[in-house]
Amino acid sequence: MRSTVRRRLGFATLAATAAFGLWFAQAPVSQAQLRATSPILTDRHGARLNVRTVENGTWRVQADLDNIDPAFVEALIEIEDRRYYSHAGVDGAAILRALRTWQKSGVASSGASTLTMQLVRQYKPRPRTLRSKVIESFEALRFELHFSKREILEQYLTRVSYGGNIEGIDAASQIYFGKSPRYLSTDEIALLIALPQAPEARRPDRNAQAAKVGRERILKRLLAADLITLREFSNANTAPVPLEKSRQPDQAWLTAQKLARSGDLTKSWLDPRLQRRLQNQLSLAVDRLPYAVNASAILVHAPTREVRAHAAIGRRDHDGGWLDMTAAIRSPGSTLKPFVYGLGMDDGLIGTQTRLRDAPSRFGSYRPENFDRRYYGDVTMAQALQHSLNIPAVGVLDHVGGRRLDSALRAAGASPSQSGPNEDGNEAGLSLALGGTGLRATDLAMLYTAIANDGIAAPLKWTQTDTPEDHGFELLQADTARSLRRVMSAAPRPTGVMPAHLNKHAPDVAYKTGTSYGFRDSWAAGISGDYVIVVWMGRPDGGPRPGVTGREAAAPLLFQIADSLARDDRAPALHRSQKTAERLKSPEEIAPVILFPMNDTEIAMNAFGEASEGIDLLVQAEGSDVRLYVDAEPIRKGRNGYRFKPTSPGFYDLTVIDEVGRKSEGRFRVVSLQDTRHPGL
């Protein structure tokens, strides 16, 4: 009987041990939990354009120790978990200290939670009981088994609460101080450590006095630990606390919605200046109209195929006013006619001066009409394209083949919503010349970029991680693409736009308009300088707008955009904005400038180390986020700027790196005033 009981106990112990081992072997958090951070979209320079919240409207940005002030990390560990790098998730010495304090006073006044245990609570909040402490201890051991110390610290600094809907040091620093946590002043460091200890009670925007008191407590402990000087304590303690929150970047929300995903840092090719301007231009165009309408546009840098601006604006007082209409499938109207004529030119059927018949015609059972129901007899191919005549375009497509046009568009990367010709004939495919299919504005931008690039089609580049195409698809021959650009450049300008040959400052725009059946879609697509511009206007529900054409609605906006691009190009260098000038400068010209100490400078000093007054390091750089290093050691920015205290005479290397990675270097020498051997003293 006893042996049976012992055997059962042995099996139970073995099973419990196995279950415990399996539990330990499992990851404490899922990949979905790790990636549940705010999606961030940056512009082509790496600056943030858009940051979005996660569940419950929480701002939670992924922390990166490389982008956090080392002085903050040092202070945090000193205050919250001094033995962080030596324990395995549970600090035995801290637990014994807490138990002794509890035994003496009868009150648990000394905490024993490590940073790892605090991280466990952030993922799985529990009541503050002894049982919870035990569970958190085991969970902390599990975290330490699966993650490195760096990973645990980054997770903690991602999820720690800073009050309200703010989590993580990055979001807190951006919202409370309006800056990256890469460089923090002493008062900011103390406040960012004090806040998580009482996130709601110490919120500076609601209780400034409590925030100051909490900050002072942290400053006193940092002073006692010799992490700050008495002067730094005094300056930090009298500094004001932030009373208002800063807004997170919310530009290019449409592109962010399209590209950015939870947990991702998406580096786009958007140009912030062009993006802001395009959004303003669309907004003004929509606001001027007496009826509800949406407007969308995409701006592509043709040589690189990079999307530099992307926007959609609509009135919120009608359904669909918030939709991304650049991704909607709509009839392209006559914007495909250049490709009809281009394929005909590639096949040797026509040239720009070939005479085509513009008269009522029937193609099997298909009988198209010109838009204005007027006919002009014999016209050249150039005239037919410039005036968007329907009959000549359908006639050329009848010889080229609707199925061929459809296949060419698909091979180029577009996605027509209809397959084109019927299997039993060619008639249905002929409507492709007049917009008898569905395309997205992004498809049209890609196709017109092929015309700008001598006929070679390739996908648009939205992000800096997009894989470049080695070759691409030859949609049109190079000579054909160049001929089309010349013909389209000579097309009549919209009403109110001066012809290019009458105004030397007018942009050279090769463009084509389009209007879908029932006046549902107004299009203008064109090439101006190095840019391809596609504009769409209409109702998101597909409702008609009688009499509103692409030439009247979309073309003026296209020329307005083109004109603003041309003004950028012709503006004198002395009158350009700082950002425009930066675009034209070489990387060496816009790199940070070391003002003091300049290269090969010698500086004489009386004392070294903490006894010295230090050397003020002066730099000039585009942007505000600058990193300084002396002999590869980071120099933290204080309230009075960057100050370096040499420890001894000798040579020192100074490196300055700006927010987009541009670097300048210099070397200076420090000598002692007591060194009589130094010449010149």
- Please indicate whether residue 334 is annotated as part of the active site: yes
- What number of other Cβ atoms are within 10 A of residue 130's Cβ? 8
- Element (DSSP H or E) covering residue 49: strand 48-51
Q: Which of 334, 388, 522, 664 is catalytic?
A: 334
Output 410-415 pairs: Cβ under 8 A, ≥24 positions apart: 411/473, 411/475, 412/446, 412/447, 412/450, 412/457, 412/473, 412/475, 413/443, 413/446, 413/457, 413/458, 413/459, 413/473, 414/439, 414/443, 414/444, 414/446, 414/447, 415/439, 415/440, 415/443
Contact (Cβ atoms closer than 8 angstroms) between residue 653 and residue 631: yes
Determine the Cα angle at 381 with ends 376 and 383, to 5°: 55
CA geometry: angle 534, 540, 546, nearest 5 deg: 85
SS3 416: coil
Query: 292 phi and psi, to 5 degrees?
Result: -75, 130
C-beta of residue 495 within 8 angstroms of C-beta of residue 509: no
- Which of these is catalytic: 78, 80, 167, 659? 80
Among residues 336, 275, 252, 382, the alpha carbon closest in space to that of 523 is found at 336
- How far is it, in rounded angstroms, from Cα 113 to Cα 110? 10
In sequence order, the β-bridge partners of residue 618 are 596
Q: Which amino acid is at 590?
A: I
The amino acid occupying position 660 is V
Can you read off the two tokens belonging to residue 659? Answer: 């927010």
Measure the CA dihedral 174/632/674/614, to 10°. 0
Q: CA 4 → CA 12, 235, 599, distances in Å?
A: 12, 74, 85
Pairing of strands 166-167, 59-60: parallel
Any catalytic annotation for residue 622? no
Q: CA 15 to CA 9: how far, in whole Å?
A: 10
Task: Enumerate the active-site residues.
Answer: 80, 334
